[in-house]
Amino acid sequence: MVCEGDAGAMSLFDGADLIVVGAGFFGATVAEHAAREGFRVAVIDRRKHVGGNAFTYVDAHTGIEIHKYGPHIFHTNSGEVVDYLSRFTGWVPYEHRVWTTAGGRVFPMPINLATISLFTGRLMSPREARAWVAEHAGGFPAPGNLEEKAISLIGRPLYEAFIRGYTQKQWQTDPSLLPAEVITRLPVRYSFDNRYFSDTFQMMPEHGYTAIFERMLASPNIAVHLGVDWFSARGGAPDVPVVYTGPIDRYFGERLGRLGWRTVDFAHEVHEGDFQGCAVMNYADADVAWTRIAEFKHFAPWRGEFEKTVIAREYSRFAGARDEPYYPINLAEDRARYDGYRALAAEEKRVVFGGRLGTYRYLDMHQAIGAALRAWDREVRPLLTR
């Protein structure tokens, strides 16, 4: 049952054994498990739709499926997560490929033999390319930040061309202050494999992501209330366990200070035909304001031809108090602050903090679902059956 929330807080939660704050992948996975075991669950979300950041909808004007909060590609090595989600959706194979524009030229991304060969102007064997990178990669035996890590992985020339400007735009932070792990999300390949991800399972849900959530939350044991903020509604909540997937700093009234988040402004445009001939084009140069352009119809080629096309230019910036928090920035001061919030969270014995916002972690969808499966077994279920 889905309703938009002007009901009083009491009726929102009437009869609930469990309250779930946030209808994204973490919240929906926990709610679905609880409902299947016969518990009654009230799910609230302050947005007017389910799905969290994975929400998709069909644009009425063009018929094209849009990923409202930026393109979402499903990829994982976890058979457990695939088996679980496959209860709610069929899949279409989809291998994501990304191109990047640097200095007026186009290269495949992530960096692979084709990128290196195009960049240097000579066809290199894997051994030659490794030697070329090694020649430019010295100086950081124990890389301590994104810049040092990137240079040690791909050498300074490729770092300068493809990573420095893009990262500076995307994080609005000097790459030498960012954690090294961010760059290890990108593979470096000494082959002509130009897929963006290396995972065993790479695919798209047949009918979009929102359809998955509608099925996950369809149980009569689940009541979904949209347009309801926990901080307005919690006064009327019964004393039952809560799964909270909003920002952890907000839960505690930001009493230890605000955690750093990056938000993205998506500028949508409609054009005739095909705009860029691929799903995602990155823009590596610092003097181009946007980081990348996504063209949505290329994420679902099996849907056939469309006369028009919808693109989104992405502009990244620090999230202010009213902005959607998307990416945890995770500077050293953020990590220290988050440790403080984690200690406060440990005192909330009947609240489970989860998901990207609740644990201040850069989680992909499969990781958010995997974390929710574990949280259900280890934390939420024990609270309900105690």
Show which residues are catalytic: 185, 189, 262, 292, 314, 362, 364
Tell me which residue of 291, 79, 15 sits closest to 172, measured CA to CA.
Answer: 291
Q: Which does 57 bind (CB under 5 to 8 A by kind): ligand FAD, ligand UDP, none?
A: none
Strands of 91-93's sheet, edge to edge?
74-76, 201-205, 91-93
DSSP 8-state assignment for residue 260: P
Q: Is the CB of 282 or the CB of 359 nearer to ligand UDP? A: 282
Q: Which whole-number Å values give the CA distances from 133 to 13, 150, 155, in the listed order?
A: 59, 11, 5
Torsion of the alpha carbons at 328, 330, 331 and 334, rounded to the nearest 10: 90
Q: Is the CB of 71 or the CB of 108 nearer to ligand FAD? A: 71
Residues 48-77 within binding reach of ligand FAD (CB under 6 A): 52-54, 69-73
Give the angle 310-208-7 at the CA atoms, nearest 5°.
100
DSSP 8-state assignment for residue 288: S
Q: Which of 13, 25, 166, 209 binds ligand FAD (CB under 6 A)?
A: 25
Token readout for 164 is 């420095």
Is there binding between residue 183 and ligand UDP (CB under 6 A)?
yes
Is there binding between residue 328 and ligand FAD (CB under 6 A)?
no
Cis ω for the linkage preceding 301 (within 30 of 0): no
Q: Which does 326 bind (CB under 5 to 8 A by kind): ligand UDP, ligand FAD, none?
A: ligand FAD
Q: Which of 363, 370, 380, 381 binds ligand FAD (CB under 6 A)?
A: 363
Q: Which of 13, 94, 119, 162 binds ligand UDP (CB under 6 A)?
A: 162
Residues 258-317 within binding reach of ligand FAD (CB under 6 A): 264
| Strand-pair partners of 31 | none
Q: Which of 13, 26, 132, 162 binds ligand FAD (CB under 6 A)?
A: 26
Pairwise CA distance, residues 247 & 122, whole Å: 48
Is there binding between residue 227 and ligand FAD (CB under 6 A)?
no
Residues that bind ligand UDP (CB under 6 A): 100, 109, 162-163, 166-167, 170, 182-183, 185-186, 282, 284, 327
